[in-house]
Amino acid sequence: MSAGDPQPPEPIPGARLLFSLDPASAHLNHGSYGAVPIGVQRAQQRLRDEMDADPMRFFTQGLVDRIVHVRRHLATFLGADPDGSALVGNATTGAAIVLQSLRLGPGDEVLVTDHGYGAVGFAVQRECRRTGATVRTIEVPLTASDDEIVALVRAALRPGRTKLLMVDQLTSPTARLFPAAAIVATAREHDVPVFVDAAHAPGMLPVAVDALGADFWVGNFHKWAFAPRGTALLVVAPRWRDRIEPLAVSWQQESGFPLRVEWQATLDYTPWLAAPTGLFTLRSLGVDRVRAHNAALAAYGQRVLGEALGLAPADLPDPGAPGVSMRLVPLPDGLVSTVDDAQALRLRIADALGAHVAVSAWRGRSLLRISGQVYNRAEEYVRLAQRLPQLLGALR
């Protein structure tokens, strides 16, 4: 071990006690579903109790104003215009809303990268089938530099035909931070609208959404900002707001964006209303402190797992910036080749080793993704590293 090797950070005192996670498992995959602090769970339960005690009053007296208040709170945290933002269930829902609002047609195309989230890819395919548009994929090597990524995007743009470029701010299958600002600027030069899928950004990364300048931006608060699941913010540039339509029409349709998107009749709004408690928890721990802790822990976990699998430091994918709290560890070639294979291996690791991780099959490569969060400890990664090689060896 050299002096430059990633080392585990000091735990944040008391942070682990804020969560109700089962101690029988090492929860090393915060990036997939997050974890809701106990205080936020209780805040949401109080809201549920209020709703169920008097549903008529809850839904008809002041609920819209409460939603607007939460939206302003979350948008301000992200540096986004509250009047151009809408609360939605998750990033995939935000993508579907934007896609069906574009009014695509034959001859149009949506441009994506091969690092995109699978469910968003399904949404693109469905909208293209429905409208006669096409989808085209930019292949971006895992080791591409920021300049190379921007160059690949620039070369793929077809002004006049490319009606939307969809790019991730931090990719899900490959845990790579893309140069979103440079990509947006490049697309703007060619008058191509950009949708930034920032599912993992709120809470993990310092972002200033309006300064980024994307036409559409969506981020989940239920991953790294400690909100209840089902809380995300869709931000839309001024020139597009009048065109945004909800997936289902309800009683705020005539109010325009964003209320027409947010109000979905008897939806359970308690996750949104409890989301500020999640931000309060994050701020109480110290936003910068949490970010630094999580990124350092993920880097340490990547190192010890890589060493256990016989990988050199150069074999471990660079996340694109030191502040990323998710890291990749390549697994032996041919171990998984399909989504079902990846799911089966993930479940086997969980059952046999007591550790939750993410596994993906990406461009023929088998990739394991880990996260770092304030409830994790260095020994959880070490324990997985000690046992993982034997399990993988038995599968080959």
Successive 10-residue mean pLDDT values, the chain, 396 residues: 78 97 97 97 98 97 97 98 98 97 97 96 97 98 97 97 98 97 97 98 97 98 98 98 95 95 95 98 98 98 98 96 97 92 96 97 94 98 98 89
User: What values do phi and psi take at 368, rounded to 5?
Assistant: -105, 130
Instruction: Kindly state the tokens that stand for 363.
Output: 């461009």
The closest alpha carbon to 233, from 277, 253, 203, belongs to: 203
Could you give the maximum distance between any two Cα atoms of the chain, in Å?
Answer: 64
- pLDDT, residue 2, reads 54
Query: Within 13 A of 266's CA, how many CA atoms are on the CB side?
Result: 4
Query: What is the rounded distance in angstroms from the CA atom of residue 28 to the CA atom of residue 326?
Result: 9
Q: In terms of C-beta density within 10 A (0-12 exposed, 13-18 middle, 19 or more buried), how is residue 271 classed?
A: buried
* Chain CA centroid to CA 323, Å: 15
Query: What is the rounded distance in angstroms from the CA atom of residue 46 to the CA atom of residue 28?
Result: 29
Write the CA distances from 89 to 133, 267, 293, integer angstroms: 26, 10, 28
Spell out the CATH class of 40-280.
Answer: alpha beta
Residues linked to residue 166 through DSSP beta bridges, in sequence order: 195
User: What predicted TM-score, i.e. pTM, was given to this entire model?
Assistant: 0.96
Query: Are the C-beta atoms of 212 and 67 separated by less than 8 Å?
Result: no
Alpha-helical segments (H) within the chain: 30-33, 38-53, 55-60, 63-78, 91-101, 118-131, 146-156, 180-189, 209-212, 259-262, 270-285, 287-308, 339-353, 378-395
- pLDDT, residue 265, reads 87
Residues linked to residue 328 through DSSP beta bridges, in sequence order: 369
- pLDDT, residue 1, reads 52
CATH code that applies to domain 15-36+286-395: 3.90.1150.10
Domain extents in the chain: 15-36+286-395, 40-280
Write the CA distances from 336 to 31, 174, 339, 342, 361, integer angstroms: 20, 15, 8, 6, 6
Query: Are the C-beta atoms of 31 and 223 separated by less than 8 Å?
Result: yes
What interhelical angle do 118-131 and 91-101 show, nearest 10?
20
Write the CA distances from 217 to 40, 197, 338, integer angstroms: 25, 6, 29
Query: What is the rounded distance in angstroms from the CA atom of residue 235 to the CA atom of residue 208?
Result: 11
- pLDDT, residue 189, reads 96
Query: Are the C-beta atoms of 222 and 44 separated by less than 8 Å?
Result: no
Alpha-helical segments (H) within 102-247: 118-131, 146-156, 180-189, 209-212
- pLDDT, residue 24, reads 96
Contacts of 56 (CB under 8 A, 6+ apart): none
- pLDDT, residue 333, reads 87
